Amino acid sequence: MKLVFLNLLFFSFFNLLFAQQLEKVDFKEVKADLKILPSQKSIEGKVNYTIQTLQSLDTIYLDAVDMEVKSCDEASHYQITNTKDKLYFIGNFKSNTTYNFCFSYKATPKQSLYFVPTEEAEVGQIWTQGQGKNTSHWFPSIDDQNEKMIFNLSIEAPTDYYVLSNGVLQNKVSSENTTQWNYSMNQPMSSYLLALALGDFLSEELESSSGVPIQLFLSKKYKHQFEPTYRHTQQIFDFLEEEIGVAYPWQKFKQVAVKDFLYSGMENTGLTIFSEQFITDSIGFKDLNYVSVNAHELAHHWFGNYITATSSKHHWLHEGFATYYALLAEREIFGDEYFYFQLYQWAEALKKESDKGKGEALIKSGGSSLTYYQKGAWALHVLREKVGVTNFKTAVKNYLEKNAYQNVTTEDFLAEVEAVSKRDLTQFKIDWLKQVAFPADQALNSLRKSVFIPPLLELIALRETDLSLKSGQLSKFLTYPVNHYHASEAVFQIPNSSSSQAIRLYMKAFSAKSWQVRQAIASSLNQIPNQLIEAYEGLLADESYLTQEKALLHLWGNIPSNRKIYLSQTKDTYGFYDREFRMLWLMLALATQDFEPENTTAYFNELSAYTDKKYPVEVRENAFNYLYQLDTFAPKNYKDLIASCLHFKWRYAKFSRSLLKTMLKDRTHELNIDDLKDELLNSEKEFLKSLNN
């Protein structure tokens, strides 16, 4: 019997190797009862799949990485077996027949499901990120975006957590210590969009003009920052529905910010998860806000979720569309000049890469973000101008409705544009989709259609010109009322000097009544002439954290006699989510002789504490940088840095490893770290050993 079983298994693998499962099986629906175990950092559940066979076959599989699996139907006519990354159902499956597969599983994922410490709890948040082919690390699924099915999840978790998932919350049932949250969907989606988010969330509710419920979530400690963080959300939603011309294709729209998220945001169907770094107040909103990411992830609910590319070769159909429609939404909020300035900046970046021989075709696998996002958006902008706005919108509407809840290619989209516009797009395909070089001339011609861009280009052309030859032109751009893009560019061209020409231009800039222009002054004027000190000091109270931060640093460095005054004036400012301003203040306070000597220890302890895992990685990275500048690491900081080298967020881990390698070149740091080895986890010891090797 064992030999027969092995032969059958081999035969099944052989068949799967040469035939696509999706040609033989249609996964219709999955229902799952899940249980989250925070203390074990694991998940377990009972899962029931409903499938429809399209052909006769003997093996059906799911992707399931490092899972313990067993059947919950001992009387079934199929066998279950699993390998490191697959779960197989083996039997005699007839064509055009509906089957149900029932099994239970348990997993302790190394990725995709994250158990995150916060200031409030050891596991304060739990969330997923399935982009690409990662959902199968926490839920047995199909890692192929061409397979779409309806997901219905019931999630049991400790009652302390608010539980979010795709679809609509039908009800929740509480027991003594746990609560079961029951979510349902009515339309199919790809498994990479399946999501969970658990935390101490509070919510606020909106409704779109079309009646779609919108629910917004933040952790309780950010309850006073709902409005600025989610500012313009309803306007974005209403605009995209109108602009795209197709009603929002899902039941409800939810958004939640989480700590240490891997990316800016993720468009899980009906549940956008995004990074807490975008949580802001009204001052911070000017410099860093959630508007663009908000619009981008919502646009994906049409472009990526509603219709999905067949393969990564056509990935621009997701990212290019989401980027362009997000920019159109931002245009509605911030105006035409913002819109064209963003296009200009993207064109500059794309041309720079192209000139270095690093340009890429838009239709390809493994392209860069710059290609899929910004070049994709530029291609759509040029196409929209080429065929006309009305034709473009009609074609997009047809493209979406004809391919609803299905998979698409670039040709599917272009066929609709050609059909509606009656235009031959052969040259467009060559220039924008197949050619690796960026069509800079076409982009420039498009940009020149804005009355705002030609004067900006005229001004940029003066960058290498001596001030004596361009002061009159700069003065013109700094004369109130100013265009803040033009005036900011003019400020950046004023040299750091005490010449009468420079002073006059800076005084004009200070009187321009534009926070963007004042920010340009704070960023560029780091050697402050005596005539400008009083005006410059006013920047410490400006309504921009970035302006305040730059002003404090430059004033502290230029005018030592007033350091205590500046520090006292800014003592209670914390700035952005990453606490960059606060940590700069702490470092300057520690470096200022005789400034509150009774608080020196407390200030150092505060700065040192920010390396702890309970803080966001954005905060921790800043803390490590400032402690390194001060050349003062406590034993706890060393241990936090070593642990950070193994963090799940790869960019942060990369930063931590680079800093640790640099520090190990210093004998003092090396000895201090060596003294701590016995206090490290085994994984951390192994990592240090690998560095030494």
User: What pLDDT score was predicted for residue 22?
Assistant: 87
Q: Give CA–CA dist 163/406, Å, rounded.
A: 29
pLDDT (0 to 100) of residue 75: 65
Confirm whether 503 is domain-assigned. no
| φ, ψ of residue 425 in degrees (nearest 5) | -100, 20
Binned at pLDDT 50, 70 and 90, residue 526 comes out as very high
Evaluate whether residue 473 is within a structural domain.
Answer: no
Q: What average pLDDT does range 411-421 have in this prediction?
A: 98
Same domain, 592 and 613: yes
pLDDT tens digits along 443-472: 999 999 999 999 999 999 999 999 999 999
Q: What is the DSSP letter of 371?
A: I
Place 93 in a pLDDT band, splitting at 50, 70 and 90: very high
> Contacts for 329-336 with beta carbons within 8 Å, 24 or more apart?
329/236, 329/239, 329/240, 329/243, 329/291, 329/295, 329/299, 330/291, 330/292, 330/295, 332/235, 332/239, 333/232, 333/235, 333/236, 333/291, 334/291, 336/450, 336/452
Q: Which of 276, 301, 326 is at the close of a domain?
A: 301
Q: What is the pLDDT of residues 314-341, one digit of tens each?
A: 999 999 999 999 999 999 999 999 999 9
> Helix %, strand %, coil % for the chain, to 5?
50, 20, 30
- Structural domain for 600, as ranges: 574-693
Q: How far is CA 332 from CA 288, 364, 456, in A?
A: 18, 32, 22
Q: What is the mean pLDDT of residues 606-635?
A: 97
Same domain for 297 and 335, yes or no, is no
pLDDT score recorded for residue 5: 36
Instruction: Write out the DSSP string of 107-150.
Output: E--SSSEEEE--SS-TT-EEEE--TTTTGGGTS-B---TT-EEE
pLDDT digits (tens, 9 = 90+) for 267-291: 999 999 999 999 999 999 999 999 9
334 or 19: whose pLDDT is higher? 334
Is residue 114 situated within a structural domain? yes
Residue 185 and residue 225 share a domain: no
Q: What is the CATH number of the domain that holds 119?
A: 2.60.40.1730
Same domain, 94 and 230: no
Q: Specify the CATH number for the domain of residue 334.
A: 1.10.390.10
| Residue 38 and residue 121 share a domain | yes
What is the reported pLDDT for 76?
77
Same structural domain for residues 272 and 311? no
Nearest to 12 by CA among 57, 54, 50: 57
Cα 357 versus chain centre, distance: 28
pLDDT band with cut points at 50, 70 and 90 for residue 15: very low
Write the CB contacts of 341 (distance below 8 Å, at least 6 apart in sequence): 452, 456, 485
Q: Is 15 exposed, middle or buried, given 0-12, 13-18 or 19+ CB atoms closer than 10 A?
A: middle
Domain assignment present for residue 623? The answer is yes
What band does 168 get if pLDDT is binned at 50, 70 and 90? very high
Q: Tell me the pLDDT of the chain averaged across its residues.
A: 95
For the chain, how many structural domains are there in total? 4
Establish if 154 belongs to a structural domain.
Answer: yes
* Residue 482 lies inside a defined structural domain of this protein: no
Residues 286 and 342 in one domain: no
* Contact of 204 with 216, CB cutoff 8 Å: yes
Are 681 and 651 members of one domain?
yes
Domain C-terminal end among 166, 199, 232: 199
162 lies in the same domain as 218: no
CA 151 to CA 102: how far, in whole Å? Answer: 15
Concatenated DSSP letters for 417-432? HHHHH----HHHIIII
Domain shared by 121 and 165, yes or no:
yes
- Please give the backbone phi and psi of residue 32, each rounded to the nearest 5 degrees, phi first: -145, 140
In this structure, which amino acid lies at residue 477?
A: F
Instruction: Say yes or no to pLDDT of 10 above 50.
Output: no
| Domain final residue pick, 141, 173, 199 | 199
Average pLDDT over every residue of 246-258:
98
Residue 9's pLDDT band (cuts 50, 70, 90):
very low
**Predicted pLDDT at 692:** 80
pLDDT at residue 89 in the model? 95
The one-letter code for the residue type at 167 is G
Vertex 148, ends 142 and 153: CA angle to 5°? 75
Which pLDDT score is estimated for 73?
77
pLDDT band at 131 (very low <50, low <70, confident <90, very high): confident
pLDDT at res. 44: 98
Give the pLDDT of residue 527.
95
Residues 606/599, Cβ–Cβ less than 8 Å: no
For the cut 80, the answer to whether the pLDDT of residue 642 exceeds it is: yes
**Do residues 135 and 256 share a domain?**
no
Q: What's the confidence (pLDDT) of residue 13?
A: 47
Residue 548 lies in a domain: no
Residue 1 has pLDDT above 80, yes or no: no
Do 149 and 43 lie in a common domain? Answer: yes
For residues 509-513, average pLDDT: 95
- Look at the pTM and tell me if it is higher than 0.85: yes
* 485 assigned to some structural domain: no
Q: What is the pLDDT of residue 17?
A: 39
CA end-to-end span of the chain? 50
**Which one is predicted more confidently, 497 or 577?**
577
Burial class (CB in 10 A: 0-12, 13-18, 19+), 467: middle
